[in-house]
Amino acid sequence: MRRFRRDPLGYIEDRARCSPAEVFRLPWGAWCVRDSELALAVLRDPLFHTGMSTFFGTMLPSRSAQILLGRAVRNVMRAHLPAYRERLPEGAAGLGPASQWPEAGPALVYRCAAGALLHPDAPPALQRLLAKAVAGGFTARQPYMRQRVRAEMLRPGLLAAITEHVRDRRAEGSAADEPRDVLDAVIGACAEGSTDRTVTDLYVLLFQSIVGNIGYALAWSLLLACLHHPPGPPWPWTAEGLVREAGRHRPFVWMVGRPVPHALEFGGLSFAPGTILSVSPYLLHHDARHWDRPELFRPERWNEPGEQGPYLPFSTGPFTCAGAAVAHSMITGAVDVLAQGAHLTVSGGDARPLVSGSALPRPFVLRRTLKTPVRPAPTKGGERHDRCNPTHHQEQAR
User: What integer pLDDT is reported at residue 200 of this predicted model?
Assistant: 98
User: What integer pLDDT is reported at residue 392 of this predicted model?
Assistant: 41
Whole-number Å distance between alpha carbons of 226 and 248: 16
86-95, 367-376, 381-390: segment of lowest average pLDDT: 381-390
295 neighbors 224 (Cβ within 8 angstroms): no
How does 135-146 read in b/e, with b if 16+ C-beta sit within 10 Å? bbbbbbbbbeee
Q: Are strands 358-360 and 364-370 parallel, antiparallel or unpaired?
A: unpaired
For residues 192 and 249, which has the higher predicted lDDT (pLDDT)?
249
Residue 92 has pLDDT above 60, yes or no: yes
Whole-number Å distance between alpha carbons of 117 and 94: 20
pLDDT-based confidence at 378, cuts 50/70/90? low
- Residue 164: CB atoms within 10 A of its CB come to 14
pLDDT per residue over 224-279, tens digit each? 999 999 877 788 999 999 999 999 999 999 999 999 988 989 888 899 999 999 99
- Which of 187, 179, 212 shows the shortest CA–CA distance to 327? 212
13-28 average pLDDT score: 91
pTM score > 0.85 for this model? yes
Residue 123, preceding peptide bond in cis (omega within 30° of 0): no
| DSSP-derived secondary structure for 175-203 | TSSS-SSHHHHHHHHS-TTS-HHHHHHHH
pLDDT per residue over 39-63, tens digit each? 999 988 888 888 888 899 899 999 9
| Three-class DSSP category at 324 | helix
User: What integer pLDDT is reported at residue 389 of this predicted model?
Assistant: 43
The torsion angles phi and psi of 388, rounded to 5 degrees, stand at: -85, -10
pLDDT per residue over 118-137, tens digit each? 999 999 999 999 999 999 99
Residue 393 has pLDDT above 60, yes or no: no
Fold of 2-371: Cytochrome p450 (1.10.630)
Whole-number Å distance between alpha carbons of 360 and 354: 5
Whole-number Å distance between alpha carbons of 184 and 162: 12
Residue 174 has pLDDT above 70, yes or no: no
